[in-house]
Amino acid sequence: PSAMREVKLEIPKVNWEDVGGQREVKNQLMEAVIWPQKHQDAFKQIGIRPPTGVLMFGPPGCSKTLMARAVASEARLNFLAVKGPELFSKWVGESEKAVKSLFAKARANAPAIIFFDEIDSLAAIRGKESDGVSVSDRVMSELLVELDGLHARVDVTVIAATNRPDKIDGALLRPGRFDRLLYVGPPNEPDREEIFRIHLRKIPCCSDVNIYELAHLSEGCTGADISLICKEAAVAALEESLDASEVKMQHLKTAIEQVKPTETQLYQE
Ligand code: ATP
């Protein structure tokens, strides 16, 4: 039995323009991932080693996954995504093998990005077993070995994401491992305006739709909330009339009232 479903290999199709706001994080990702791959010689010449891993942290629904995909897409890198909990298998040895084969697959398909979502889950289960070394301890040591093995190469970059930076094992944050930390926070009003524009691009809107007002009314909403608001508004327009050819401001306003904003307080810097 395999510890993990086969990890899909793809080059995502997400443009930077599909991500509203987050200018600084976009720049940092470019610098950490795209530059070193594009300008290997320049980096060598000047004698600096690019980061092996980038850790994005922040509340859910604020575009961590979206940006990891966008960076792979922009640079035309192969993308391998895995969620932390997927790595755990009840079969002894299988979980470590899964980590090993994930990195092997990335090296074989370089240039590539490995994206670890919910990386905190590796530590979360740690120490729960009383009989010696737990599965998560073994997965963690394998992961550290693989990360350290990437030292010598710039064509495989690891991006990890978490909502719980407080749960990250300190060993992962040492130099040469996840040594670039990026905070991905909730959108402010101008960011929300951009995000509304992005999500309404494909939805025909009535001329009464005022994006500035939507951005103002959606205080506290994440990008994921806004995506949902736009979908709900379109559904509401259809429910009103199956002939509906556009979404009106009132549909969007009602959707904003109905969608409960994702909790982001805990993570404010
Ligand atoms: P989680 O921690 O839950 O994995 P995340 O930070 O990775 O969350 P994403 O999965 O990237 O969040 O976002 C979910 C969806 O929300 C995206 O696919 C996109 O539709 C929308 N979204 C979030 N942030 C933005 C943004 N800044 N611009 C445009 N769309 C966004």
Whether 208 and 249 have beta carbons less than 8 Å apart is answered as yes
Residue 211 is predicted with a pLDDT of 97
Whether 185 and 269 have beta carbons less than 8 Å apart is answered as yes
Residue 269 is predicted with a pLDDT of 44
Is 19 close to ligand 1, i.e. is its CB under 6 Å away?
yes
Backbone φ and ψ for 186, nearest 5 degrees, come out as -70, 155
Å from CA of 14 to ligand 1 middle? 12
Q: How far apart are the C-alpha atoms of 187 and 24, rounded to whole Å?
A: 12
From 66, 199, 221, mutation site for ligand 1 pocket: most ligand atoms within 8 A of C-beta? 66
Residue 129 is predicted with a pLDDT of 53
Residue 53 is predicted with a pLDDT of 92
Is 84 close to ligand 1, i.e. is its CB under 6 Å away?
no
The gap from C-alpha 14 to its chain's centroid, in whole angstroms, comes to: 12
Å from CA of 61 to ligand 1 middle? 4
Is 147 close to ligand 1, i.e. is its CB under 6 Å away?
no
Nearest atom of ligand 1 to the alpha carbon of 68: 11
Whether 62 and 222 have beta carbons less than 8 Å apart is answered as yes
Q: Return averaged pLDDT per consecutive 10 residues of the chain, 269 residues in all.
A: 67 93 95 85 82 92 96 93 82 83 93 93 59 74 91 87 90 90 96 98 95 97 97 94 89 95 64
Å from CA of 223 to ligand 1 middle? 6
Q: In the numeric block, which tokens belong to residue 22?
A: 């987050």
Å from CA of 91 to ligand 1 middle? 33
Model pTM?
0.90
Which amino acid belongs to residue 188?
Answer: N
> What is the tens place of the pLDDT at every residue in 230-246?
999 999 999 988 888 89
From 13, 25, 56, 63, mutation site for ligand 1 pocket: most ligand atoms within 8 A of C-beta? 63
SS (H, E, C) the chain: CCCCCCCCEECCCCCHHHCCCCHHHHHHHHHHHHHHHHCHHHHHHHCCCCCCEEEEECCCCCCHHHHHHHHHHHHCCEEEEEEHHHHCCCCCCHHHHHHHHHHHHHHHCCCEEEEEECCCHHHHCCCCCCCCCCHHHHHHHHHHHHHHHHHHCCCEEEEEEECCHHHCCHHHHCCCCEEEEEECCCCCHHHHHHHHHHHHCCCCECCCCCHHHHHHHCCCCCHHHHHHHHHHHHHHHHHHCCCCCCECHHHHHHHHHHCCCCCCHHHCC
Is 96 close to ligand 1, i.e. is its CB under 6 Å away?
no
Residue 268 is predicted with a pLDDT of 44
